[in-house]
Amino acid sequence: MKQAFLVFLGGGLGSVFRYAISKSLNPVFQNFFLGTFLVNIIGSLLIGLIIGMSSRNNLLSSNSVLFLATGFCGGFTTFSAFAFEKHSLVKNGELFHFSFYTISSIFVGLLAIALGIWLSKLSS
């Protein structure tokens, strides 16, 4: 029960942060959801840091990983919103923006995870 509460609490906090960032940054560019993009990249970086820290000398407890990775990052990242936004771009015939947004989100997200793991090893 404690683990479910940690995921619930972390997810709620992550969702509030996602909402604030997306609401303020999505209107910046037309046809590129900057807030969603940044949330996904930051979330990927955070998950990389959490994975790196938890695998190195048990710096994070399993409860901390549940709260941070499963809870906070799960609520914070927005791949369901990401998919919906991509659908709306295709529906509106914005194939270039769809392709650019999809490829850049996936590629930069993967790089951010690798960067997070690498950064977590710097302090050893």
3-state SS class at 78:
coil
Annotated binding-site residues for Na(+) read 74, 77
Binding residues: 74, 77
Residue 4 three-state SS: helix
Cβ contacts of residue 98 below 8 Å, gap of 6+? 86, 89, 90
